[in-house]
A and B are shown apart, each in its own frame.
Chain A
Amino acid sequence: MNRPQTILLTDDEAHIRKFIGLVLRQFDNPRILEASDGAQAVALYREHQPDLVLLDVNMPNLDGVEALAQIRALDENAVVIMLTSLANRQTVEECLNLGAADYIRKDTPRDEMAARFAQVITECFGEEEATA
C-alpha cells in the first residue's frame, strides 16, 4: 500500500473538514471519514481502522491529545497528524511524544498543507512519489 485509502478527518468545525477534505482529495481520492469530536474519532477508528488520522487539538467531548492517546493505545502503528490552531509548542511536543507523526496548523495555505501531507504520506506509506 503506497497511499492511505481511508482517512479519518476530525475537527469540530465543518469548514475546516471541508477545506482539508478537498486538500486530501488530491491524494488519489481516498475514502474520508469525518468526526466532529474526539469521542467520535475514537469510535470511528475502532470500527474502520483508517490508514491515516487527522486530529484537531481543541475539541469538545474528548480533546485531540486524549483521542490521540486512546487511538495509539488501540493501535500502536496508527499514523496520526495533529491539526493545531496556533502552534502551541507544549501541546505539540506532548502530541509528538504520544506518537503523533506530525502536526500542521489549520490556517496553512493549501499548497503548503498538501506538501506537508505528501511528506508524511511518503514517510509512512512508502517511497512512491506522493505529490498532489
Chain B
Amino acid sequence: MPYKELRILVMNPSSEPSTPSLAGRRVLIVDDDRLNVRILSSILQPEGYDLRAVHSGEEALTAYEEFKPDLVLLDVIMPGISGFETCRTLRDRHGALLAPVIFITAKSESDDVVEGLAAGGVDYLPKPFKGREALARLRTHLHNRLLAEQQRQLVSQLSTANAAKNKLLGMVAHDLRNPLASICGLADFLGDGTVGTLTPDQLDLVRTIRETSQSMLSMVNELLDLSVVESGELKTHPVSRQIAEILNKSVYLNNINAARKGSRIEIEGLDGETELLIDADKIKQVVDNLLSNAIKFSPPGSVIRVSIESDGDRYSVLVHDQGPGIPENERHKLFKDFSQTSVRPTAGEKSTGLGLAICKRIMESHGGTISAENAPGGGGLFRITLPLPRLAA
C-alpha cells in the first residue's frame, strides 16, 4: 500500500530558472490615437513580443482579462474612462498580481507622472517616443515581471515539497512504528525466558536486538511527532487533570528503564489535588522525555530527583539529573530541531536531537515553558512550567 503513495509524493525536479528570453511576452497597448499605436507597434515588433492594441479604457479592462498581458502601455487622456481610472480599476481587481503599467504621457506633464505612479503605474513613456528608450524601459519591467512570476512559482513549489516531505515523514514513521514495537516486545519475551531458557551468548544477542530496536523506535516516534508539529497539526486537547496522576505514571514506567542501568527516579512534593488544564498524553510525553533524558545522561547507579514548585500562578516540575549538565555556550541549542550538544549518553543510548524541540512546542501550546540550567551542586536541572487555572472566587 504505502509504496504507490510514496511515489506520488516524491517531487518532480523542477527546471532551473534560466536567463529569460522576453520574446513572446504579451504587451497590451491602450491608446485612442492610432498613429501612436502604429509607432509603438513598429518599435516593439522586432523584439518578438505578442502585441495587442485597444483604443479605450473600457476596452482595456476587457482585453486585460482575455489577453492576460505581462505589461500594459496606457495612454492617459482618452475618451471614456481615463488612463488613471483604468489603472486604478485594474489595480483594485488584481492587486499585487497586476502586470506593470507604463503610462504614455506628453513630455512636459510632470503632474501626470506623479498621478500615474499614484494610480499604480510603475513607469512612464514620454511622447514623442524614442525607440531605444522605450525598449529599454519595457525590457526592464518585463524582466522584473518574469522574475516575480518565477519567484511565486518557486515559493509554491517549495511549500508543496515541504508538505510532501512532512507527509512522507509521517507515513514512513507510522508504518515503521508497529513492526518495530513488535520486534522490541518479542525480543523482550525471548530475553526473559518466557519461551524457554537461552544461553548467555544467545541472551547477549537478544539484548542487542532489544536495545537497537528500542532506540530505533524512539527515533521513529520522534520523527512522527516532528512531522505532526511541522505540518501545523499539533493539536492539544486540554482537559482538567490531576497532574500527580500523570507524574506518578511516568515515573513508574521510566523507573523500569532506569533499573536496567541501576539508577532510580524519586519524586517528592506531590499533592494529589492540583488539577491543571492539560492534554494528558502530550504532557506525559514531555515528562517521559525529560525522565528518559535524565536516565540517559546520568551515570549508571544515579538517583534522579523530581520535585514540584508552585506559586499560586504557575506550577513547575523540576527534573534534576546527575549528568554533567549542559555547557553554557551550548544551552541555546537544546530546544532546536536535530541539534545535539557535546554531552553524550552514558551507556551508548541513541538520540535524534528532536525530543526537546518537540517538548518545547508542546509546552508552548499549553501556554507553558521549558528551560534548562545547571544545578548549583552539579547535574542538569530541567524545568517545565504550566499555568495554574484561576480559582473561582
Residues of A within 8 A of B (CB): 13, 15-16, 18-19, 22-23, 25, 85-87, 89, 106-112
Contact = CB atoms under 8 A, between A and B. Distances in A.
- Which label, helix, strand, loop or mixed, suits the secondary structure of the A interface? helix
Interface stretch (B94-102, B120-128, B181-189): B181-189
A111 B253 contact: yes
B108 to A, nearest CB: 72
Contacts of B189: 19, 22, 110
What 7 A-B pairs come out closest when comparing CB atoms?
Answer: A107-B181, A15-B182, A19-B185, A19-B182, A22-B189, A110-B185, A107-B177
Given A19-B186, A85-B174, A106-B178, 17 more contacts: A15-B186, A18-B182, A18-B186, A19-B189, A22-B185, A23-B185, A25-B194, A85-B178, A89-B237, A106-B181, A107-B177, A107-B180, A107-B181, A108-B181, A109-B184, A110-B185, A111-B256
Interface residues of B, number: 20
A109 B185 contact: yes
B281 A87 contact: yes
B217 interface: yes
A112 B230 CA distance: 29
Nearest to B184: A109
Contacts of A87: 281
B177 A109 contact: no
Nearest to A15: B182
Contacts of A106: 178, 181
Contact of A107 (B188, B217, B256): B217
A19 B185 CA distance: 6
Contacts of B194: 22, 25
B256 A86 contact: no
Given A22-B189, A85-B174, A107-B217, A15 B179 contact: yes
19 contacts: A13-B178, A15-B178, A15-B179, A15-B183, A18-B182, A18-B186, A19-B182, A19-B186, A22-B186, A85-B177, A85-B178, A86-B174, A89-B237, A106-B181, A107-B177, A107-B180, A109-B253, A110-B188, A111-B253
